[in-house]
Amino acid sequence: MKEYNTLDDCNVENKTVLLRVDFNLPLDKKTFEILDTTRIKLVLPTIKELIEKNAKIVILAHQGRQGSWDFISMEKHAQALQDLIGTKVTFIDDIYGEKAKHAIQQINNKEIIFLDNVRKFSGETEKKSAQDHAKSDLVQHLYPLVDIFVNDAFAAAHRAQCSLIGFTAVLPSYAGRLMEKELSTLEKVVKNPEKPCLFLFGGAKFSDVIVTIDRVLAQNTADKVLLTGLPANAFLKAQGINLGEKNESALLEEGKPEQFNDINAVLKRFSEDIYLPEDFAIAEHETRKEITLEDLPTEHNLFDIGEKTIEKFIKILSTANTVFLSGPCGVFENSLFQKGTKKIFEFVAQSEAFTIVGGGHTVAAVEQLNLREKISHISSGGGSLEKFMMGEKLVVVEALKESKKKQVIKYS
């Protein structure tokens, strides 16, 4: 028995369902076109099920943050959903005003309306309890018009925001199919991973992963951690290796100097369990050239891991029964530097190990390498996934549990 309700616990026939999803997508900076629809695809089972069961569907989602360049309306998302699901999706350029309320009242069974970017409501991102968020204009205007709340926004499950938790205080609330799948799959990996369990971190950020590495090793979720990309560079620098000016300034652009002390503390605790690259690829005269640790410092950027590291990491990965991939091994968008990511990801995908992939860039790399079918679990989460893997509670999940415990029913 789950601590939260799922779609198995409710009858949605003829009901108006408010469905919160996370369609916060990567956009093209110039055209604002959507670059990747993975997060939409992952929610399709929930939406299809609601249609099949004769529900009326009202979708609520966010894109970007107030003030950020990618803070746009949900019109393109509604269109993308319509294209993927093959059913009409009506975009409403309103969140809880008369236009939105009228549209919700007019909706028929099996129809979908998509409300505007919920972060246009400035109370959305205030940090409050579910009870306090329930007093907001957003919740007070919308909840009388709907029967149940379904939350399928796993990728935003770490945010205590109004539309994510407020409705759980006043409406019977359920986890959608994606939320349910993410939680049950990831729970197994966090609590009881099939050992050995290896984590590979890469990508272009290191400041957030230091504490993640420390926690997953301390909790014994991970037995070994392999590092590539910026996390690897940061750990090498912390060990006193001079990477060259370009690489070191790239590190300081992303993180803070004091974080190298944090890394040293992690290295001290887990020196046996953390593996770092021994060679790298740089661009010289527009070709790929490999250099070793002894060649450092270099005036060039380290764009990929080298052959020796690929070989060594594959050998270590071949012992794993569970692998968690977070971040590409190099600048895989450039074909010269795709090798590390390609070889490592292909190896893991074809292996027998249970493989989890998370984070936008990692999922994009999997898509580009055509490995989607061979990955055991592609997570929609970025920040929420990281928090979950660290053993932290997710506020949205806690709100769903609370709603079940209190057996929240609708008063209107």
Contact residues: ligand 3PG, CB under 6 A: 22, 24, 65, 155-156, 159, 382-383
In 3D, which of 90, 173, 178, 164 has the Cα closest to residue 381? 178
| 74 burial level (CB within 10 Å; 0-12, 13-18, 19+) | buried
Q: Cβ 328 to ligand 3PG, closest distance in Å?
A: 18
Nearer to Mg ion by Cβ, of 182 and 223: the residue is 223
- Establish how many alpha carbons lie within 13 A of residue 149's alpha carbon, considering only the half-sphere containing its beta carbon: 30
User: Residue 277 or 381: which CB sits closer to ligand 3PG?
Assistant: 381
Cβ closest to Mg ion, residue 105 vs residue 271: 271
> Which of 178/217 has CB closer to Mg ion?
217
**Residue 109 CB partners (closer than 8 Å, separation 6+):** 14, 54, 55, 56
The entry of ligand 3PG, Mg ion, none near residue 22 (CB within 5 to 8 angstroms by kind) is ligand 3PG
Considering only CA atoms, give the Rg of the chain.
Answer: 23
Minimum CB separation of residue 400 from ligand 3PG in Å reads 17
Residue 40 contacts by C-beta under 8 Å, 6 or more apart in sequence? 23, 25, 77, 80, 81, 84
User: What does 88 bind: ligand 3PG, Mg ion, none (CB cut-off 5 to 8 Å by kind)?
Assistant: none
Rounded to the nearest whole angstrom, what is the least distance from the CB of residue 197 to ligand 3PG in the complex? 24
Helix (H, G, I), strand (E, B) or coil at 92: coil
Q: CB under 8 Å to 339, separation ≥6 — which residues?
A: 281, 288, 304, 310, 330
Residue in the shown chain whose Cβ atom is closest to Mg ion: 223
C-beta closer to Mg ion: residue 180 or 273:
273
**40 within 8 A of 80, measured Cβ to Cβ:** yes
- Shortest Cβ contact with ligand 3PG: which residue? 24
Cα–Cα–Cα angle for 166, 114, 9, rounded to 5 degrees? 55
Return the residues of window 209-238 that contact Mg ion according to CB under 5 A. 223
Q: Least Å distance between CB 273 and Mg ion? A: 5
The residues, any chain, with a CB within 8 Å of residue 220's CB and separated by 6 or more, are: none
Nearer to ligand 3PG, 156 or 344 (CB): 156
Q: Please report how close the Cβ of residue 61 comes to ligand 3PG at its closest, in angstroms.
A: 9
If the CB atoms of residues 213 and 365 are measured against Mg ion, the closer one turns out to be 213
DSSP-based three-state secondary structure for 282: strand
Please state the closest distance from residue 260 (CB atom) to ligand 3PG, in A.
25
Sheet holding 56-60, edge to edge: 89-91, 112-114, 56-60, 16-20, 148-151, 173-175
Binding partner at 74 among Mg ion, ligand 3PG, none, C-beta below 5 to 8 Å by kind? none
CB of 257 to ligand 3PG, least distance (A): 25
The site for Mg ion (CB under 5 A) is made up of 223
